Amino acid sequence: MTLLRPEWRRKRAQMQDQQSTAKAAIPDVDLMGMIGLLPADEHERFLRVREFLQRRVRPESIGFWNREEFPFELLPELAELGLGELQVDGSSLLFKGLMYFEVARADVSLSALVGIHNELIVGMIDRLGSAAQRERWLPGLRSFRELGAFALTEPDHGSDIAGGLETTAELVDGEWVINGAKRWIGSGTIADFALVWARDVADQRIKGFIVETDRPGYSATKIEHKMGLRIMQNAHIVLDQVRIPEANLLPGASDFAAANELLRDSRAWVGWQAAGIQFGTFDIARDYALERIQFGRPLAKFQLIQLSLSEILGNASASLALMLQFARMQEQGDAQMVQAAMAKATTTRLARESVAKGRALLGGNGVTSDYEMAKLFGDAEILYSYEGTYEINSLIVARAMTGVGAFV
Ligand SMILES: Cc1cc2nc3c(=O)[nH]c(=O)nc-3n(C[C@H](O)[C@H](O)[C@H](O)COP(=O)(O)OP(=O)(O)OC[C@H]3O[C@@H](n4cnc5c(N)ncnc54)[C@H](O)[C@@H]3O)c2cc1C
């Protein structure tokens, strides 16, 4: 379903009358049958969620994206579909990944919300939290009644955050006192708590803390005018003498290395998003190529347009195939940071290429979000740079393959 301007809708209706037989013959985009790898019950659930996302989320997301607004009203419906608890409801890793993929195909910002929520918030509290923290937060998180924000990046430290992190935590009279600043933090202005990574001044280790956002000294300012992921409310956060109970330290996160496995998986999660955005790109480009008439015939009739369509679908399918193999390695316990980094870097490089081809295919209409493609074009840039930039992930791969680190 492509979102078309009124005159296009009329033209499309006329064309559909004339070409109904040809339209009916258009095959599903999953040429390699990858969705079919899901077992029957998950496959049925997947199709139900897809229908909802395409019907309810995708059309409305353009307006929210343009206005940089968060669609709070969608949260109960997303919760109803189980998207708030993918991490802990016993879903297979393949299903979870394909959910991230399918949400991204409809809207990348929402897939960022669902992914960060499951991988970095629910996952961290479930695996690294205390019994009391799990009891306090998991029910609200699972039903999207409450949200968390993952606060690692700082104004002066992005790629070098592991070594450079400056936010401090000091245990004073049975309370942690947190000081510092965080930047780019997703949901930072709307979350109930932030999972803040800070350096314990006593032992210099980086630890994870639950900081409720209504604590005195916590302030979050929305970062506006982003070129992509505009629905996600990213924040600049200042932590000024924020006092939290001693019990707000995540017991399993008393060392940054403890979070490594979850950070590896969240890196790979972006690969599912990158595959999803490319299938979304193909959906839009194919519809447009069939509908837009130039030189008296649909664009789809021109060989160069067919080449672009074929390349976009090839990139998209290769990205999804890479992610399916990554999920298989995760299931077998074989996935390491190097594979996550390779999957993230490769799929986002291909996504950038695919959206550029899609944008060009729509000509002038490719530069306005009214035709949706420009939204995907901007979103792909974020995928390329967050959760470890393309360059940093490439350095991780090449270090593993040569034994030589080239970061500094
Ligand atoms: C929309 C958005 C959402 C985000 N959400 C979150 C979030 O929810 N929580 C969170 O904690 N963070 C979040 N981030 C932060 C994100 O992870 C960082 O932007 C990312 O890690 C890069 O850091 P930086 O922006 O400081 O870039 P820098 O580290 O300053 O890098 C700038 C450029 O230099 C390159 N570079 C850096 N070091 C090297 C090197 N050694 N060799 C070669 N090239 C190098 C980089 O690849 C990049 O091209 C988000 C970012 C964005 C844009």
Q: What is the tens place of the pLDDT at every residue in 375-385?
A: 999 999 999 99
Which tens digits make up the pLDDT trace of 206-231?
A: 999 999 999 999 999 999 999 999 99
Rounded average pLDDT over 14-40: 73
CB of 209 closer than 8 Å to CB of 244: yes
pLDDT number for residue 191 = 98
From the CA of 157, give the closest atom in ligand 1: 26
pLDDT number for residue 254 = 86
Candidate from 189, 387, 390, 392 with most ligand 1 atoms within 8 A of CB, to mutate = 392
pLDDT number for residue 25 = 66
CB of 218 closer than 8 Å to CB of 237: yes
DSSP line for 239-291: EEEEEEEGGGB-GGGSSGGGGHHHHHHHHHHHHHHHHHHHHHHHHHHHHHHHH
Output the pTM of the full model. Answer: 0.94
Task: Name the band, by pLDDT with cuts 50, 70 and 90, for residue 128.
Answer: very high
From the CA of 152, give the closest atom in ligand 1: 11
Candidate from 70, 110, 116, 153 with most ligand 1 atoms within 8 A of CB, to mutate = 153
pLDDT number for residue 16 = 46
pLDDT number for residue 20 = 45
pLDDT number for residue 7 = 53
pLDDT(3) > 80: no
Q: Is the CB of 326 under 6 A from ligand 1?
A: no
pLDDT number for residue 256 = 85
In the CATH hierarchy, which fold is given to the domain comprising 148-254? Butyryl-CoA Dehydrogenase, subunit A; domain 2 (2.40.110)
Q: Is the CB of 191 under 6 A from ligand 1?
A: no
Pairing outcome for strands 148-151 and 193-200: parallel
Cα-atom radius of gyration of the chain, to the nearest Å?
A: 22
Q: Is the CB of 374 under 6 A from ligand 1?
A: no
Taking the C-alpha atoms of 178, 183, 185 and 189 in order, what is their torsion angle to the nearest 10 degrees?
80
In whole angstroms, give the CA distance from residue 50 to residue 259.
Answer: 31
Task: Name the band, by pLDDT with cuts 50, 70 and 90, for residue 299.
Answer: very high
In whole angstroms, give the CA distance from residue 174 to residue 237.
Answer: 24
Rounded average pLDDT over 266-271: 95
Q: Decide: helix, strand or coil at residue 209.
A: strand
Q: Is the CB of 185 under 6 A from ligand 1?
A: yes
From the CA of 390, give the closest atom in ligand 1: 47
Which tens digits make up the pLDDT trace of 142-181?
A: 999 999 999 999 999 999 999 999 999 999 999 999 999 9
Same fold, 6-27+259-402 and 148-254: no
Pairing outcome for strands 148-151 and 293-294: unpaired
Q: Who has greater pLDDT, 83 or 4? A: 83
Homologous superfamily assigned to 6-27+259-402? Butyryl-CoA Dehydrogenase, subunit A, domain 3 (1.20.140.10)
154 Cα: distance to centroid of ligand 1 (angstroms)? 10
Domain-wise residue ranges, the chain = 6-27+259-402, 148-254
Candidate from 117, 183, 184, 404 with most ligand 1 atoms within 8 A of CB, to mutate = 184
Rounded average pLDDT over 365-369: 98
Crossing angle of helices 93-106 and 260-291, in 10° steps, is 40
Give me the chain's average pLDDT, please: 94
Task: Name the band, by pLDDT with cuts 50, 70 and 90, for residue 260.
Answer: confident
In whole angstroms, give the CA distance from residue 271 to residue 69.
Answer: 25
Q: Who has greater pLDDT, 89 or 16? A: 89
Task: Name the band, by pLDDT with cuts 50, 70 and 90, for residue 4.
Answer: low
Residue 254, number of CB atoms within 10 A of its CB: 15
Q: Is the CB of 314 under 6 A from ligand 1?
A: no
pLDDT number for residue 194 = 98
Rounded average pLDDT over 352-367: 98
Pairing outcome for strands 297-298 and 293-294: antiparallel
